[in-house]
Amino acid sequence: MPVYAKNRQIVVPGELIAETNRYEVEGKIYRKNKKIYSKVLGVVFIDEEKRNIRVLPLKGKYIPNEGDIVIGKVIEVGLTNWTVDINSPYLAVLQVTEVFSKPTQISRTELSKILDVGDIIIAKVISFDYTRDPLLTIKESRLGKVSRGIIVEIPPSKVPRIIGKKGSMVNMLKNMLDVEIVIGKNGRVVVIGKDPAKEEIAVLAIKKIEREAHTSGLTDRVKAFIEEKLKELGEKS
Amino acid sequence: MKKEGIRLFNDEGKRTDGRYPNEIRPVRIEAGVLKNADGSAYIELGNNKILVAVYGPHEAVPKYIAEPDKAVIRCKYSMAPFSVSDRKSPQPSRREIELSKVIREALEPAIFLNEYPRTMIDVFIEVLEADGGTRTASITAASVALADAGISMKDLVTAIAVGKAEGKLIVDLNGLEDQYGEGDMPIAIMPQYNEVTLFQADGIFTPEEIEEAFRLASEAIKKLYNEQKKALKKKYEEVIKEVNQTE
């Protein structure tokens, strides 16, 4: 019962990956007649030690999941709620009760003073079950409105690459460039730094990670890339 | 049906464009050609030039067409006014509306629609130049565009037409053969899944001919399927190559 795909191979929908039950298989796959096929245009990761095969998509829309941190944009102010675009097929809803911890009485005009159309928020998905639109909260710490910084949009499937193994990639960016980075599961990344030039390098680095997400040895290449850019920056000033 | 004085084969048994009966026209497929669409593809099959853009899955508009348990597909096939030798009116014709439906139904079985409830997937097919067999080329390109958009699918869909001219079966009809031949049979297949998603026939075929047509079609579809796969992987494999070179 062989495995047909190689590690890090790019597969198209319907491509045969394996015919085996000795591996644990997860991700975007489907089974037919005991054979395992890919569902998407993606990359196969095979871990021989853990006996695990994963198929990760290269593109695709964000599907909300309970507990995800997302970065949204307010697109409508309602009577008791805000409608938020979270870069997904489903529009999210932020209720007034999920903004204040105490019961409050406010009118519609006041609602737009707190969050207005076009505001960017960091929020958490509290519930989603496909039958109703996802609900958001900003009551917890580190959630809420983003007042400065740069937003980068990447395919949501590449978010794990930006984070790296146990946060190695994002921590490297943070330390090397002295910036704060918030990553939304929906593929939006906020970069906040004191130095605009360094902010820009961080954005370029994220774009590089996105483009080369399916290759190996990425962390080292990104490190070299940032060092080079920082040197250029040093020469200029 | 046969018109006097028009020959679709020469003395050597070759067709009007120099092909053998079981030969398809030169094909070129490219994926991800449009930046603003979620997925896109461009196909050149002989003189056919077709551009496909896929948007979604996104919120269903108007809202009442949303299905509670699956995504709906909206497919629009349209021919550019300059796609044929006489100017084509830009208004959607009866034929275009019918083809939109036929193409949608050929694509639907390949997509995991229940993964995206209450949403909608838009498929826009724009024929820039037409020379016979646009519906099959459109299906081939549209499935590449859907995969390029990252939509979950059982398989790609690949399509080709088999027809009859002067009593002989021919694969991948061009405009002339479509017009003066004795029959046209577009076939769409999911090559790995081995299921037929579209089968139409215009003209008179014997059961043996239909069987033979399927055999010819699956041969041609194998070639097209490889092109589809190559097109989808190309963009990402180029990055891998580039990275390996710099190291």
Evaluated on CA atoms B11, B15, B21, B22, the torsion sign reads positive
Dist. CA B227–CA B208, nearest whole Å: 29
Task: Give chain A positions within 8 Å (CB) of B57.
Answer: 61, 89
- Give the pLDDT confidence of A148-195 residue by residue, as tens digits: 999 999 999 999 999 998 999 999 999 999 999 999 999 999 999 989
Indicate the DSSP class of residue B155: S
Q: Tell me which of A57 and A2 has the higher pLDDT.
A: A57
Cβ neighbours for B85, distance < 8 A, ≥ 6 positions apart: none
The CATH number of B27-246, from 3.40.190.10, 3.30.70.2740, 3.30.230.70, 3.40.640.10, is: 3.30.230.70
Q: pLDDT tens for residues A203-227?
A: 999 999 999 998 888 999 999 999 9
Set of chain A residues whose Cβ sits within 8 Å of the Cβ of B118: 89-90, 130
- Is the confidence at residue A145, as pLDDT, over 60? yes
CA–CA separation, B66 and B113 (whole Å):
12
Distance (Å, rounded) from C-alpha A146 to C-alpha B112? Answer: 36
Domains in chain A, ordered, with CATH?
A: 9-57 (2.40.50.100), 69-146 (2.40.50.140), 150-236 (3.30.1370.10)
| Shortest distance, CA A11 to any CA of chain B (angstroms) | 8
Res. A101: pLDDT tops 80: no
**Would an 8 Å CB–CB cutoff place B226 in contact with chain A?**
no
Contact A89, A104 (CB under 8 A): no
Query: What pLDDT sits at residue A224?
Result: 93
Contact B154 A157 (CB under 8 A): no
DSSP per-residue codes, chain A: --B-SPTT-EE-TT-EEE--SSSEEEESEEEETTEEEE-SSEEEEEETTTTEEEEEESS------TT-EEEEEEEEE-SSEEEEE-SSSS-EEEEGGGT-SS-----HHHHHHHS-TT-EEEEEEEE--SSSPPEEE--STT-EEE-SSEEEE--GGGHHHHH-GGGHHHHHHHHHHTEEEEE-TTSEEEEEESSHHHHHHHHHHHHHHHHTTTSSSHHHHHHHHHHHHHHHHHHH-
Q: In the prediction, which pLDDT does B42 show?
A: 97
Size of chain B, expressed as the number of residues it contains: 247
Q: What is the pLDDT of residues B35-87, one digit of tens each?
A: 999 999 999 999 999 999 999 899 999 999 999 999 999 999 999 999 999 99
Per-residue pLDDT at A130: 87
Can you give the three-state secondary structure of B44-101, one letter per residue? Answer: EECCEEEEEEEEEEEECCCHHHCCCCCCEEEEEEEECCCCCCCCCCCCCCHHHHHHHH
pLDDT digits (tens, 9 = 90+) for B185-238: 999 999 998 899 999 999 999 999 999 999 999 999 999 999 999 999 999 999
pLDDT band at B4 (very low <50, low <70, confident <90, very high): low
Per the prediction, chain B carries an average pLDDT of 93
Q: Between B247 and B161, where is the model more confident?
A: B161
Nearest-angstrom CA–CA distance, B124 and B40: 9
- Verify whether the Cβ–Cβ distance B247 to A130 is below 8 Å: no
User: Nearest-5° angle of CA B90, CA B91, CA B92?
Assistant: 115
Cβ of B233 under 8 Å from any chain A Cβ?
A: yes
Q: Average pLDDT over chain A, rounded to whole?
A: 90
pLDDT tens readout for residues B85-111? 999 999 999 999 999 999 999 999 999
Report the percentage of chain A scoring pLDDT > 90: 66
| pLDDT on residue A102 | 72
Q: What is the C-alpha to C-alpha distance for residues B195 and B187, in angstroms, rounded to an integer?
A: 11
Between residues B245 and B39, which one has the greater pLDDT? B39
Residues B146-157 pLDDT 10s:
999 999 999 999
Identity at A69, one-letter amino acid code: I
Counting beta carbons within 10 angstroms of the beta carbon of residue A141, is it exposed (0 to 12), middle (13 to 18) or buried (19 or more)? exposed
Residues of B in contact with A13 (CB under 8 A): 110, 147, 152-156
Residue A195 near residue A236 (C-beta atoms within 8 A): no
What is the pLDDT confidence band of residue A108, given thresholds at 50, 70 and 90? low
Question: What pLDDT sits at residue A131?
Answer: 87
How close, in Å, is residue B30 to chain A by CA atoms? Answer: 14
pLDDT band at A79 (very low <50, low <70, confident <90, very high): confident
User: Are residues B156 and B95 in contact, defined by beta-carbon separation less than 8 angstroms?
Assistant: no
Comparing alpha-carbon positions, the chain A residue that sits nearest to B247 is A221
Tell if the CB–CB gap between A15 and B57 is shorter than 8 Å.
no
Cβ separation A60–B147 shorter than 8 A: no
Where do the domains of chain B lie? 27-246
pLDDT at residue A107 above 80?
no
Q: Which residues of B are less than 8 Å from A17 in CB distance?
A: none
- The distance from CA A89 to its chain's CA centroid, rounded to whole angstroms, is 15
A-chain residues near B66 (CB < 8 A): none
Both tokens of A189, joined, read: 């990344």
